Amino acid sequence: MKTTSIVKVSKAEKSKLEQIDFDNLVFGKTFTDHMFVCDYKDGKWQTPEILPYQALTIEPSAKVFHYGQAVFEGMKAYKDEAGKVWLFRPEENFQRINKSSKRLNIPEFEEDFFFEGLNELLKLDKDWIRSGQEAGNALYIRPFVIATQPGVMASPATEYKFMIICCPVQAYYTKDVRVKIADYYSRAANGGFGAAKAAGNYAGQFYPTKLVQEEGFDQVIWTDDTSHEYLEEAGTMNIFFRVNDKLITCPTSDRILDGVTRKSVIAMAEKLGIEVEVRKVTVKEIIEAAENGSLKESFGSGTAAVISPIGTIGYKDKTYDLVKPEDCYSAQIKKGILDIQYNAAEDPFGWRYEVK
Amino acid sequence: MKTTSIVKVSKAEKSKLEQIDFDNLVFGKTFTDHMFVCDYKDGKWQTPEILPYQALTIEPSAKVFHYGQAVFEGMKAYKDEAGKVWLFRPEENFQRINKSSKRLNIPEFEEDFFFEGLNELLKLDKDWIRSGQEAGNALYIRPFVIATQPGVMASPATEYKFMIICCPVQAYYTKDVRVKIADYYSRAANGGFGAAKAAGNYAGQFYPTKLVQEEGFDQVIWTDDTSHEYLEEAGTMNIFFRVNDKLITCPTSDRILDGVTRKSVIAMAEKLGIEVEVRKVTVKEIIEAAENGSLKESFGSGTAAVISPIGTIGYKDKTYDLVKPEDCYSAQIKKGILDIQYNAAEDPFGWRYEVK
């Protein structure tokens, strides 16, 4: 056991690394040798620890199981050709998990615990990251907080666990996605917690998603719950539309996640000289654009896939197929972001953060 | 170890019962000697078991922690003066947990596993139930389902755990509650899962509730998320208003929980000769009724408290205190329901279910 200035470290006796087939990884199924854990009790975050990756012992009445106090983040670490490890805008994830926590009445986490814990964890498990921008090799990082206090009374917990676990991954999506625009089910309420990266925002999407999957789609594009006239986001992605040569996306709100990749896409598009408009987007205008041919592209943005091109949009009984133009924005923007993430290009934005 | 026709039973070596101070129970903190557990894997619910109450071993990537697939029920068992144990409308809870599960894409549970498991569990732990209608002694029963499959990919789990845990309780609320009507935050979306008894519906309420508690209220009365003009429910209760001699409550919807106590209150009120109106209720009419004195009573209904009289309603910057009239509906209805629950009166509705 060693102790950094902040984090107590207990190393795994034996690495599982040799058993891993890096060419056949299923997203989110394989975890590295270590995990970061920090408990909240007696009104404060206790000493953070890095432990061998292991199962948790938790009471059946832990409040996370009953009242859903659980928030998370998704991040990635990338290895460049020289073997250096990089994070992408990690301060955005740190700020957002605290914003999510605040909305769910979970105590905010300590900045130095987060960064030192993450850094130590990635140093210990750095051999789990393969360089390889082309295959999309990276380490997916999942910070999360859960309410561990036992007790079946509906009130905020007084005990929590902040954890970070990591999975080696390849590219997330392999083909263009087929999406259907929601006209009955909804993801989030006005004045709700749709903007929080909260566990409770996901479970409610699975059933409506299953229904559209039965019709041959992959995901739902969510609309506002009042009129279903405004396009908002997909379940795990923010969404963009290219109408003629303009890239359009809706503003964030208390219903819509403030995606780190979303804001990186906007910045990268502008750097590439693409006109970007952030404003409410109606279902009507996008369907009209699809019908008259001015809808040139559409894509989702998110940490796992960076950009997922949308191949087909369904609405009511109709489907609209999109054929990517030669000057495809999504490919240019994705390459621009990946080059920065993998340290294969300059970083005029200051997005990269070296793990060392 | 013994095996009933369905349920495998492993008894606790020693009961904790002697250590319990039944006169000073904190709601939801003390659990009985046993718990019911049934795992879902390989596409079906496996052999249900009753085990000594114990902590769970669960992977940090279990989907419940990340994507919120978790639903629950609240029920109570009552002991009459002769020592017989009774449940109240348990088939309603069974049907509702499956309805909640369906909305969250969780596999529905088996009816015989539920009833036999519950029956065996209550027989084993029946000494934890004290007769005592006056003190509100009862056994609070918490069936719940959580997604246990490991993996940080946002998709429905393929492995779950259905559990039942039990707490001896006294009365839930001791004084009239002070509620504030929501005019910014919301509990549920149109087309969302507000009608499901899902963990994710609770965590989002804690922060807005904390804000009203800082103003001296106990709970929020939620309104529709579009206009905030319609009164819907409190976080853990459905709500009723008595305007002159009429009892009014809003209909259930995809935003509002279909409360078992709510429908029992309606039936009991009608039996008592009280006129009940189920229709949309506006904030405006209730505030006007509070101002002109025609709002005679208001109360919440739920399993934990049966009925919680509301003493004060806050809206914007004003508060309205309610003084219970002599022919108080809430007291009559509560007594009517409790008498049936404790087998102290006839049960014309067929609500009681004997554990034997």
Q: Beta strand B75-79 with B138-147: parallel, antiparallel or unpaired?
A: antiparallel
Cβ contact A203–B202 (<8 Å): no
Chain segment A19-66, per-residue pLDDT in tens: 999 888 999 999 999 999 999 999 999 999 999 999 999 999 999 999
Residues of A in contact with B147 (CB under 8 A): 203
User: CA–CA separation, A24 vs A32, rounded Å?
Assistant: 15
Cβ contact B188–A185 (<8 Å): no
Distance of CA B323 to the CA centre of its chain: 27
Chain segment B135-187, per-residue pLDDT in tens: 789 999 999 999 999 999 999 999 999 999 999 998 765 689 999 999 999 99
Q: Is B97 helix (H, G, I), strand (E, B) or coil?
A: helix
User: CA–CA separation, A316 vs A339, rounded Å?
Assistant: 39
Q: Token digits for B95? A: 């049907």
B29 pLDDT band, cuts 50/70/90, is very high
> What are the DSSP calls for A176-221, one per residue?
-EEEEE-SS--S--TTSSTTS-BTHHHHHHHHHHHHHHHTT-SEEE
Q: Which residue of A has its CA nearest to B161?
A: A60
Instruction: Give the residue from B324, B344, B328 showing the smallest Cα distance to B336.
Output: B344
**How many angstroms separate the CA of residue B257 from the nearest CA in chain A?**
15
Compute the average pLDDT of residues B65-83.
97
Whether the CB-CB separation of B138 and B26 falls below 8 Å is answered with no
Q: Token digits for B237? A: 């209760």
Q: Is B291 helix (H, G, I), strand (E, B) or coil?
A: helix
Q: Check residue B174 and give its pLDDT.
A: 65
Cβ contact A152–B28 (<8 Å): yes
A4 pLDDT band, cuts 50/70/90, is low
Q: Which residue of A has its CA nearest to B29?
A: A151
B3 pLDDT band, cuts 50/70/90, is low
Compute the average pLDDT of residues A134-156.
94
Give the number of other Cβ atoms within 10 Å of residue A52's Cβ. 14
| Domain locations in chain A as residue ranges | 2-169, 177-341
Taking the Cβ of residue A40 and every Cβ of chain B, the question of whether any pair is shorter than 8 Å is answered with: no
Chain segment B275-316, per-residue pLDDT in tens: 999 999 999 999 999 999 999 999 999 998 899 999 999 999
Chain segment A81-125, per-residue pLDDT in tens: 999 999 999 999 999 999 999 999 999 999 999 999 999 999 999
Q: Check residue A9 and give its pLDDT.
A: 96
Residues of A in contact with B199 (CB under 8 A): 64-68, 199-200
Q: Chain A, 58-117: which have a CB under 8 Å from a chain B CB?
A: 58-61, 64-70, 72, 102-105
Residues of B in contact with A191 (CB under 8 A): 182, 184-186, 225
Distance of CA B228 to the CA centre of its chain: 25
Paired strand residues for B317: none
User: CA–CA separation, A196 vs A259, rounded Å?
Assistant: 10
Residues of B in contact with A60 (CB under 8 A): 35, 53, 55-56, 163, 165
Domain A2-169, CATH = 3.30.470.10
- Facing residue for A69 by CB, picked from B56, B102, B203: B203
Q: Check residue B124 and give its pLDDT.
A: 97
Q: Chain B, 253-312: which have a CB under 8 Å from a chain A CB?
A: none
Cβ contact A155–B206 (<8 Å): yes
Is domain B177-341 in CATH 3.40.109.10, yes or no? Answer: no
User: CA–CA separation, B204 vs A104, rounded Å?
Assistant: 5
Q: Check residue B5 and give its pLDDT.
A: 79
Q: Is B116 helix (H, G, I), strand (E, B) or coil?
A: helix
Residue at B236: amino acid letter: T
Element (H, E) at B265: helix B260-271
How many residues are recorded in chain A?
356
Residues of A in contact with B204 (CB under 8 A): 68, 103-104, 192-193, 196, 198, 200
Give whichever of A3-7, A264-268, B18-22 has the largest mean pLDDT: A264-268
Q: Token digits for B113? A: 């596993």
Compute the average pLDDT of residues B332-343.
96
Which residues fall within 8 angstroms of residue A132, CB to CB, at 6 or more apart?
A79
Q: Beta strand A2-3 with A8-9: parallel, antiparallel or unpaired?
A: antiparallel
- Facing residue for A207 by CB, picked from B103, B152, B155: B103
Q: Chain B, 112-151: which have a CB under 8 Å from a chain A CB?
A: 140, 142, 144, 146-147, 150-151
Cβ contact B191–A184 (<8 Å): yes
